Amino acid sequence: MKGLVFALIFSVSAVADEPGLQRQQELKNMLAQDCGACHGLTLKGGLGPSLLTDALLNKSDEFLVQTILEGRKGTAMPPWKPFITEQEAFWLVQKLLKQQ
């Protein structure tokens, strides 16, 4: 019994940094549809550059999180921080870096 409680607590804390399941769905939809408006539905690029894993590997997590939250001056990339928290941006970046 003790072991089970421990396992439960452990698994809860392991996902505590991730957005809830419903929010994950919203973020995935946002990535495909709204980010996809410029970067393409499959994220291979459009007016904005490709967001496929290969295109992002040489960039730091911090740079990518900052780009999502603050946008990029001088380009069409807007700041998403009114809609996405830093933790959510980090989750999105991890997702982008682990595409198939």
Partner 1 sequence: MLKLRFLPLLTLLFCQNSQAELRATGDLGVVIERAKGSALIINTSKRSILAKIDSLGDLSHASVVFSRDQRYAFIFGRDGGLSKIDLLQDKVEKRIIQAGNSIGGAISQDGQLIAVSNYTPGGVKIFSTKTLQLVADIPAEYGENKLSKVVGLVDAPNHQFVFTLFDAGEIWVVNIKNPKTIDIKKYKNIGNQPYDALLTPDGRYYIAGLFGEQGLALLDLWNPEKGIKRILPDYGKDDEKLPVYKMPHLEGWAVAGDFMLIPAIGQHEVLVIDKRQWTLVKRIPVIGQPVFVMARPDGRHIWVNFAFPDNQNIQIIDAKTMAIVKSLTPGKAVLHMEFTPRGEEVWVSVRDENQLIVYDTESFKEKKRLPAEKPSGIFFSSRAHQLGL
Q: Which residues are near partner 1 by CB under 8 A?
A: 29, 32-34, 36-38, 40-42, 44-47, 71, 74, 76, 78-79, 82-83
CA distance 19 to 25: 9
Give me the least distance between CB of 6 and partner 1, in Å please: 41
Of residues 18 and 49, the one with the C-beta less far from partner 1: 49
CA distance 92 to 48: 17
> Of 25, 48, 34, which Cα lies nearest the Cα of 80?
34
Of residues 19 and 40, the one with the C-beta less far from partner 1: 40
